[in-house]
Amino acid sequence: MASEVIDAGEKGNLCRVCGTFVANKGNLRRHFEDRHAVETVEYVCPDPGCGHVSFSKNSFRTHIFRKHPQYRGIKISNFARQLDVVQ
């Protein structure tokens, strides 16, 4: 039980998405990957004049297919950008 006590005097690592306190920074990254994997990646349209950003792979794929047929052959993961949510 005592080991469960959080040392409030020490600056912890708060999850910036859900506010969960994670004592260990390595665990915080794992917490993000487990709980918020979808929210930590965004897909950025490669077209300089467009600026479209999507958090959903499916809607991004739809955007490319409808608006930019020239990018259709490129893997969606090439447009993924990791959000820097862990300080």
Binding site for Zn ion (CB under 5 A): 15, 17-18, 20, 35, 45, 47, 50, 52, 67
* Buried/exposed code over 52-69 (b: 16+ C-beta within 10 A; e: otherwise): bebeeeeebeebbeeeee
User: Measured from the CB atom, is 1 or 39 closer to Zn ion?
Assistant: 39
Least gap, CB of 64 to Zn ion (angstroms)? 7
Q: Which is nearer to Zn ion, 1 or 75 (CB)?
A: 75
CB of 51: closest distance to Zn ion in angstroms? 7
> Would you say 9 or 48 has its CB closer to Zn ion?
48
Are 42 and 27 in contact by the 8 Å Cβ rule? The answer is: no
Q: Residue 66 CA to chain centroid, in angstroms?
A: 25
